[in-house]
Amino acid sequence: MKKYSDQEIKSFGLIPERIPKHVAIVMDGNGRWATAKGLPRGAGHRAGVNALRDIIRFTSDIGVESLTIYAFSTENRKRPKEEIGILCGLLIEYFNREIDELHENGVRIKSIGDLSWFPTAVQETVRAAEQKTAANPGLKLNIALNYGGRAELVRAMRQAFAENAEADENAISRHLYTSDSGDVDLLIRTGGDERVSNFLLWQIAYAELYFTDVKWPDFTRDELIKALKAFAGRERRFGGLKTNGAK
Ligand code: IPE
Ligand code: IPE
Ligand code: MG
């Protein structure tokens, strides 16, 4: 739930009218973070999970409406079984530890992607978190788990066909997992690579892209503020011409 007043938002160097409605994050670089410290990759994933807490808290506090985070892609299924097992364990641990605070803060949790691929324990934990928070009025937190942008579009098309919908943009967009969050305004990718990796292909059509070399476990609130400041300074034209004050 939004906590900060406009005055407080300004005190972070941000512009209240230029807070994005929908932020998406490719949380990349956990493995390299760990390797650089001589630690196993799993330690990087653990540190990455810990970094999430303050980012969710801050986006919620400044009144971002939707936050969509990439936790596991359809392509990540290629990773060694052992690493996937570690990620599944962390996921369960994360929800068990954070669910109460998220719920108290009015966060509504939704997983996007094909959850059925995961072990039953993961599915049950995630579904329980979704159910508990389903009616919450605050930040819409979409967690991408076994998610792929192409798979999402195929699924949306299937659903549209099944209802004999007109073949138009709305037929697709209303069947996306994120239909109630709308288009992405700001896409952040940590970890130094500048690519999309099959994330939210439809929803980022006019997103502002922000890339940083900072690896996900080191992505603090101050790093997020940098991204939000960059966003506030962008001129968004959506294919049109510059208009007075339009950014
Ligand atoms: C992102 O970190 C988390 C997942 C993809 C699950 P990586 O594990 O991709 O870390 P790097 O890119 O190898 O450093
Ligand atoms: C993207 O990171 C997926 C997640 C952060 C969950 P990857 O590490 O899988 O992306 P690539 O392989 O570098 O494109
Ligand atoms: Mg990576």
Q: Quick one: pLDDT at residue 140?
A: 98
Residue 183 annotated among the catalytic residues of the structure: no
Question: Average pLDDT of 167-191?
Answer: 98
- Tell how far the Cα of 198 is from the centroid of ligand 2, in angstroms: 9
Question: At residue 221, does pLDDT exceed 80?
Answer: yes
Predicted local confidence at residue 244, as pLDDT = 61
Q: Which three-class secondary structure state does DSSP give residue 79?
A: coil
Task: Identify the CA nearest to 70 among candidates 215, 198, 219.
Answer: 198
| Architecture field, domain 6-232 | 3-Layer(aba) Sandwich (3.40)
Q: Is the Cβ–Cβ distance between 61 and 138 less than 8 Å?
A: no
pLDDT at 151: 98
- Ligand 1 environment, Cβ below 6 A: 27-32, 72, 76, 87, 191
What is residue 247's predicted lDDT score, i.e. its pLDDT? 47
pLDDT digits (tens, 9 = 90+) for 22-33: 999 999 999 999
Pocket test for ligand 1, best of 25, 27, 32 (most atoms within 8 A of CB): 32
In this prediction, residue 245 carries a pLDDT of 53
- CA–CA dist 180, 174 (Å, integer): 8
Q: How far is the CA of 190 from the centre of ligand 2 (A)?
A: 10
Radius of gyration of the chain (CA): 18
What angle in degrees, to the nearest 10, is found between the helix axes of 41-61 and 221-232? 50
